[in-house]
Amino acid sequence: MRHTLAARVYEVARETPLQQAALLSARLGNHVLLKREDLQEVFSFKLRGAYNKSAALTPEQRARGVIAASAGNHAQGVALAAARLGVRALIVMPLTAPRLKVEAVQRIGGAAVDVVLAGDSYSDAQAAAASLQGERDLVWVHPFDDLDVIAGQAPVGLEILRQCRAPDAVFVPVGGGGLRAGLASCIKTIAPTTRVIGVQAADSDAMARSLEYGARIALDEVGLFADGTAVKQVGALTFALCQRHVDAMLRVDGDALCAAIRDVYQETRCVPEPAGALALAGLKQYAAAHDLRQATLVAVVSGANMNFERLRFVAERAEVGEQREALFAVTIPEERGSFRRFCAALGRHSITEFNYRIGDARHAHIFVGVQTSGHDERSALAAAFRDQGFAVLDLGDDELAKLHLRHMVGGRSPLSHDERLYRFDFPERPGALPDFLARLHPDWNVSLFHYRNHGADHGRILVGIQVPAMERALLQRFLDALGYPYHDESDHPAYRLLLRA
């Protein structure tokens, strides 16, 4: 607490508002408040810790210059501190960092800052920065595992308590744990009955796993959608503080994040980045799981450095994340009146997508997206189709359908014999797709290919490869050596129904 009270954050930071979320409060039956750290000068809370650390440097350290690794928001904080304090800074960012953040760092830091791009994640950039630090004798400004950085983030907790006394729970996004550690230390000291709950992306849950295991663990891979919290290993200091003050850790998926981004937009007309919406996604999940009513719940909106190119993906998945869009593959008989019966089963629902493809002389296949109010209505709609005698696949929770099939229904071919179907994920960076294509085996024919770019997220590829049965073992060795995470979708029922001859 002494370090927190001495922090110099207000030389650059502002006390951000704690804004009532009226729409969410009414919908969830609780008093929901948004801590608007996205309103800071660099659109993120990260300038607090970065500036506090930089301001604490000795004259000798300032003369040497500083180095930092960051996915983007900490980099902007370090750039701002360097420009204000007259310190040279070298900042290493991953190749997957959103272009918006890279350009912002260069603009904010000006002549005081040099930017180097290296690696696919924060942890990769950190390794590159560690090497450069040794070569150039620069002072390390860590994004989370540093006492001055943690103390700089901690006043967020003090502000919440000044603005709301003792809320029932505060939800905080967690990457390396700097904000979570500092905020929780303050809140638990002053208002010990307030629960402080960390929220992580399900594919970047290093803190949650470490707390469950009882020691810091390192993830092999991290998801890149919530790039601001994509950390393979949490800090030693932050882990110890979270062990002491943690009440709970939650994991949320990408669809829930997209839904939370939309919620923040509807309340504020501002668009948070995925990591910035983590806390609200966790708040909604927690309130539903514990059937909370009339509780005062705070979500820290930690940043708004959103790549514009991502908005298409966010809007598309937000409907699914709120269960407001149901996806079905329906098989109807090729006979008089069957299509009318299908339409009758749909009723007055709004259609978001409709694809029809004749199957054979007896059947036709329909891929349909329908606006619904939730899981119960989705189940009732599936039952209505079955009542008409139609075979139905509910694809609302199916990644293959959501990422690929909805964009390519109707591509059946009698030439696609011996086809095996694989779905690949890889970090999106310049040259990533050509690199993937170059690695494909030259002796097998590619019979299907679908690729989608989601702005700095993973690239998603669906590939059909024609491989004779006698070469399946060779195919498996090739896939294992390829180096990309993959999913065998060859027996997926929707693929067999809609795409396979």
Task: Calculate mean pLDDT across residues 492-497.
Answer: 82
What residues are labeled active site? 46, 302
CATH topology of domain 2-44+148-320: Rossmann fold (3.40.50)
Tokens read off for 215: 């020691």
Q: Give pLDDT tens digits for 150-192.
A: 999 999 999 999 999 889 999 999 999 999 999 999 999 999 9
Superfamily of domain 413-498: Biosynthetic Threonine Deaminase; Domain 3 (3.40.1020.10)
Q: Quick one: CATH architecture of 46-146?
A: 3-Layer(aba) Sandwich (3.40)
Coil/strand/helix, residue 497: helix
For residue 399, the tally of other CB atoms under 10 A from its CB is 16
pLDDT score, position 310: 82
- Contacts with 180 (C-beta within 8 Å, 6 or more apart), sequence order: 172, 173, 174, 196, 198, 207, 238, 242, 246
Q: Are 201 and 223 in contact (CB under 8 A)?
A: yes
For CATH 3.40.1020.10, list the domain ranges present in the chain.
413-498
Domain 323-397 has CATH 3.30.70.260: yes
Give the other-Cβ count within 10 Å of 472's Cβ. 11
CATH 3.30.70.260 in the chain: give the residue spans.
Answer: 323-397
Residue 376 tokens read as 């119960």
Query: What are phi and psi for residue 407, nearest 5 degrees?
Result: -100, 0
**CATH 3.40.50.1100 segments of the chain:** 2-44+148-320, 46-146
Confidence of residue 430 (pLDDT cuts 50, 70, 90): low
Cβ proximity of 141 and 80 under 8 Å: no
pLDDT digits (tens, 9 = 90+) for 238-256: 999 999 998 999 999 988 9
What is the structure's pLDDT at 456? 46
pLDDT the model gives residue 78: 95
**Residue pLDDT, tens place only, 257-274:** 999 999 999 999 999 999
pLDDT at 398: 83
**What pLDDT shows up at residue 417?**
81
Write the pLDDT tens digit of every residue in 7-17. 688 999 999 99
- Helix locations, 118-154, DSSP H: 122-136, 147-153
Q: Tell me how far apart the alpha carbons of residues 20 and 267 are, in angstroms, rounded to a whole number.
A: 9
Give 437-455 pLDDT, tens digit per residue. 667 777 787 777 777 665 5
Instruction: Using a pLDDT cut of 90, give the percent of the chain over it.
Output: 50
CA gap 155, 159 in Å, rounded: 6
Q: How far, in Å, CA of 196 to CA of 218, rounded? A: 24
pTM reported for the whole predicted model: 0.78
> What's the confidence (pLDDT) of residue 354?
78
